[in-house]
Amino acid sequence: MFCKKCGAELQDNTAFCTNCGNKVVATVAKTATVDLNQEVAAKAVQSQKVQSSEQHSAQNVNSEHATPNPYHPPKANKDTEKKNQKKGKKAAKVAIGVAAGVAVTGVAATAVVAGGIITYSVLTSPSNKVERLLDDKKYDEAYEVYSSSDKTEKLVSKISESLLRNLDSIKTDFVNKKITYEDAKSQLEDIKQFNFTDIEVQLTETSVYIETMQASFDAFTKGTEALSQENYFEAIAYLQRVIAEDPDYDTAVKSLEEAVSKYVKKALDEAEQFASKKDYTKALGALGDVMYEVKQLAKEEEYKLIEDKYNEYKTAFVAEVLKQVESEKENGNYDKAVSIIMEAMEIVSDESLNDALDAIEEAKPVKLEDLKLSESANYTQITDLDVTEDVVGNAYSPNNLFQISAKADNWGSGYEGYADYYLNYKYKRLTGTIAVADISDTTKATLTIYGDKEIIWTSGTVNRTTAPLDIDVDISNVDWLEFKLTTNEEAPNGTLSVLLSDLEFSKQ
């Protein structure tokens, strides 16, 4: 026998073509019908021959006892023979017709041929019925037949084969968009109800395949829509998600190339506008985003154009930053200069910015509050937000503000104040302001600064009538620094406090 679809030669009673998978059950049924017809016809012909033989024998017997007439041969026997032949042929036709009906309907039938009885039954098996229902995607009906039938090995095997074919069909139909996502998911749920463990892997794989393809379909739709709306960033993001198995993959690739080219051109135009206004921060931002997003997608010449423009604007941007930094340094605003550099480093990476930061750190004075205090007495840092004033009404900010006190007492309960710091020869100059605190009594005292036990600066006698003193002391060769406040010998009893305001240690 041969396959009607592809023409491949098949073995008898083959249910499906081994070459293309086409169903050939109908052909088998037809063959069975022909065989049945031939069998019944043969029995009818045999019956006819028997009748003819009996009639011939009877004729011979009669002829033995009859007187022969040379002029009129006997006609009765020939008429009888013809009648018998007609009856045999008619019986054969009836039998063949009945057999054909039996083969088509599958119902048990009985045929009477020449006094004989022929009985033939053709029954449709559950496996064949379930197979036909699954081929027609009638899963609920197929499941009902399966549920009400004996779970024979043949039945289970046929259903498994049919379900696997249907899983392949679902994938093919879905990727070719012959069925919707909802239809595919519905069929998978119908197949799942059979609960066949031997197809679980294929069922899961098909489900994942459907989800993956649907995501690709959605990405193509959204990417194409974004491109039409000139939203190139979003178009690129979506079109990259279209997979090679998607029928629209080739179109997606072309659309992606278009989106990248237009995105690059738009970014270059925007950056040029910002740069013309010397707003290099925005110009670099526009190109920086594009460079990152299209690095693997843009054509070589497109990416080179973006890269060259980015470097051009970067050079101009760094030059502007360094100019601002130098201006702040000249005004002594080192913290502001550092802040400018740190903000610039968030936008670009450039070695000259690192060098500038190192230079600031080298030149930036160190505040007294940032040094490690080694030893002290009657010496404290003022951190309260309450206003601290000197004797002439000047207000001083907290934190880098220290107060040193000394007491004159003729009864022997006086004291002096001091504070020691380790400099390790790191600094060149000490600058700041010395003032008498408003809390002081009318006594007198002297503030002395020692470098390695030697006097390097002295305030002279100070009291409530002393104005603030600016200091600028060379400390380039100092290892240990000491501040010391002592009351004068002729000073009246009382306490005097001196403010050390904004003292800084310069490295240059």
Q: Which of 330, 346, 375 is the last residue of a domain?
A: 330
Residue 227 belongs to a domain: no
Residue 201 belongs to a domain: yes
Q: Which pLDDT score, from 0 to 100, does residue 1 have?
A: 62
**Distance from the first to the final alpha carbon of the chain:** 105
Residue 405: CA count within 13 A, CB half-sphere? 17
Q: Are 165 and 35 within one domain? A: no
* Integer Cα distance of 128 and 114 in angstroms: 36
The parent domain of residue 432 ranges over 366-506
* CATH at 417: 2.60.120.1060
Identify the three-state secondary structure at position 422.
strand
Q: Are 162 and 201 within one domain? A: yes
Q: Which pLDDT score, from 0 to 100, does residue 18 have?
A: 72
DSSP H/E element including 498? strand 494-506
- Tokens 């990476």 -> residue: 349
Q: Are 290 and 201 within one domain? A: no
DSSP string, 237-276: HHHTT--TTSTTHHHHHHHHHHHHHHHHHHHHHHHHHHHH
Q: Which of 59, 85, 120 is the last residue of a domain?
A: 120
Residue 231 belongs to a domain: no
Q: Are 444 and 314 within one domain? A: no
Q: HEC states along 119-181?
A: EECCCCCHHHHHHHHHHCCCHHHHHHHHHCCCCCHHHHHHHHHHHHHHHHHHHHHHHCCCCCH
Q: Which pLDDT score, from 0 to 100, does residue 36 have?
A: 38
Residue 361 belongs to a domain: no
Q: Are 104 and 168 within one domain? A: no
* Integer Cα distance of 479 and 487 in angstroms: 26
Q: HEC states along 381-412?
A: ECCCCCCEEECCCCEECCCCEEEEEEEECCCC
- Tokens 């930061």 -> residue: 357
Q: Which pLDDT score, from 0 to 100, does residue 63 have?
A: 42
Least Cα distance to 245 among 204, 216, 208 occurs for 216
Q: Are 397 and 497 within one domain? A: yes
* Integer Cα distance of 133 and 385 in angstroms: 89
Residue 140 belongs to a domain: yes
Q: Are 116 and 180 within one domain? A: no
Q: What is the DSSP letter of 22?
A: -
Residue 289 belongs to a domain: yes
Query: Is 458 within 8 Å of 471 (Cβ atoms)?
Result: no
Q: Are 399 and 316 within one domain? A: no
Domain count across the chain: 4
Q: Are 372 and 502 within one domain? A: yes
* Integer Cα distance of 406 and 444 in angstroms: 9
Residue 190 belongs to a domain: yes
Compute CA distances 6 → 10, 132, 275, whole Å. 11, 21, 70
Q: Which of 120, 141, 167 is the last residue of a domain?
A: 120
* Integer Cα distance of 488 and 461 in angstroms: 8
* Integer Cα distance of 113 and 92 in angstroms: 7
Here the tokens at position 350 are 């450039």
pTM above 0.75, yes or no: no
Q: Are 99 and 140 within one domain? A: no
Residue 354 belongs to a domain: no
Q: Are 166 and 91 within one domain? A: no
Q: Which pLDDT score, from 0 to 100, does residue 113 have?
A: 40
Per-residue pLDDT of the chain (508 residues; tens, 9 = 90+): 667 667 667 777 677 777 776 776 443 333 333 343 444 444 444 544 444 444 444 444 344 444 444 333 444 444 544 455 554 444 444 444 444 444 333 333 344 443 444 433 334 688 899 999 999 999 999 999 999 999 899 899 999 999 999 999 999 999 999 999 999 999 999 999 999 999 999 999 999 999 999 999 999 999 999 999 999 999 999 999 999 999 999 999 999 999 999 999 999 999 999 999 999 999 999 998 898 888 889 899 999 999 999 999 999 999 999 999 999 998 889 889 999 999 999 999 999 999 999 999 888 899 999 999 999 999 999 998 787 999 999 999 999 999 999 999 988 789 999 999 999 999 999 999 999 999 999 999 999 999 999 999 999 999 999 999 999 999 999 999 999 999 998 889 999 999 999 999 998 7
Q: Are 269 and 377 within one domain? A: no
